């Protein structure tokens, strides 16, 4: 290996896309990829939010474009990936991060809410992964990184969130399965499992009386005693996106302040 180790973390000259890049964890991922040298397509159903992220990236001198896309729609995902390739010439890094979380009682919840959660958190991750992989197959190299969750490993307490937990457990096994299938193509597939992270998604939950009551319990159950900041997730992403992780596939990196160790 003739490249010094830190150079193997560089993303200079690579092109990337991040779904859900308009806010929260996805936005922090866009900054991480761009700061490490990649061009970034910020993909979101909310175009204004994606454009907001692009403006922040461009202010740092990062090459970026905003693309509106509903990741649950196959044709929209195909169009989005084509646009990334037309703009950047290739796609090396696909970060499938868009997701949603709701709390609901398994006995009472509408079945439609189950389907909606699974459609965005699991079906869309499969859709995006395979359309990205088709683009990576010819060059014979690619990095797919899916956002799972500590909720894919454990059934958190005390909130009831069966659809979310099941969808994220699905992302973990989808990731391992695709890793095995696509290793011969040079495509690595890994995931990151955040713990509770300060974003709009969690802020919305914490605004409810139920959420307010839960926060102290969550913090007491986290060995590091705090929620993650989105910056806490950036190092794992750059590792998985870079040559430094070329022999890592089918892995999940848990970034949860130790929540899952108890």
Residues designated as active site: 149, 164, 168
Min dist. Cβ of residue 69 to ligand NAD (A)? 6
Give the three-state DSSP class for 143. Answer: strand
Distance of alpha carbon 107 from its chain centroid, rounded?
29
Name the residues that contact ligand NAD, by CB under 6 A: 19-20, 22-26, 44-46, 49, 69-72, 97-99, 101, 120, 147, 149, 194, 196-197, 199-202
Min dist. Cβ of residue 98 to ligand NAD (A)? 4
DSSP string, 32-85: HHHHTT-EEEEEES-HHHHHHHHHHHHHTT--EEEEE--TT-HHHHHHHHHHHH
CA–CA distances in Å: residue 127 to residues 170, 175, 245: 14, 12, 24
Sequence-distant (6+) residues with CB within 8 A of 173 are none
Q: 112 or 184: whose CB is closer to ligand NAD?
A: 112
Min dist. Cβ of residue 46 to ligand NAD (A)? 4
Q: 44 or 252: whose CB is closer to ligand NAD?
A: 44
Cβ 149 vs Cβ 168: under 8 Å: yes
Min dist. Cβ of residue 100 to ligand NAD (A)? 6
Q: 94 or 101: whose CB is closer to ligand NAD?
A: 101
Of 175, 154, 167, 169, nearest in space to 118 by CA = 167
Q: 12 or 170: whose CB is closer to ligand NAD?
A: 170
């Amino acid at each position: 290996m003739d490249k010094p180790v830190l150079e193997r973390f560089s993303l200079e000259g690579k092109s990337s896309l991040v779904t859900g890049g308009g806010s929260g964890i996805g936005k922090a991922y866009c900054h991480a990829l761009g700061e490490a040298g990649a061009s970034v397509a910020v993909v979101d159903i909310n175009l204004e939010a994606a454009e907001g992220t692009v403006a922040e990236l461009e202010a740092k001198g990062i090459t970026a474009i905003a693309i509106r896309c509903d990741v649950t729609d196959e044709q929209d995902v195909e169009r989005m990936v084509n646009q990334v390739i037309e703009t950047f010439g290739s796609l090396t890094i696909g970060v499938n991060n868009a997701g949603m979380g709701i709390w609901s009682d398994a006995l009472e919840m509408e079945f439609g809410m189950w389907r909606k959660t699974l459609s965005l958190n699991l079906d869309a991750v499969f859709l995006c992964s395979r359309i990205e992989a088709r683009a990576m197959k010819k060059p014979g190299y690619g990095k797919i990184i899916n956002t799972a969750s500590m909720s894919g490993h454990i059934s958190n307490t005390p909130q009831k969130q069966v659809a979310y937990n099941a969808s994220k457990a699905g992302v973990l096994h989808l990731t391992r399965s695709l890793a095995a299938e696509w290793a011969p193509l040079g495509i690595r597939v890994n995931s990151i499992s955040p713990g509770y992270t300060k974003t709009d998604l969690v802020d919305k939950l914490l605004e409810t009386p139920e959420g307010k009551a839960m926060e102290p319990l969550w913090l007491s159950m986290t060995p590091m005693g705090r929620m993650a900041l989105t910056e806490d997730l950036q190092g794992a992403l750059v590792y998985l996106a870079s040559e430094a992780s070329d022999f890592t596939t089918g892995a999940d990196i848990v970034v949860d302040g130790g929540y899952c160790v108890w």
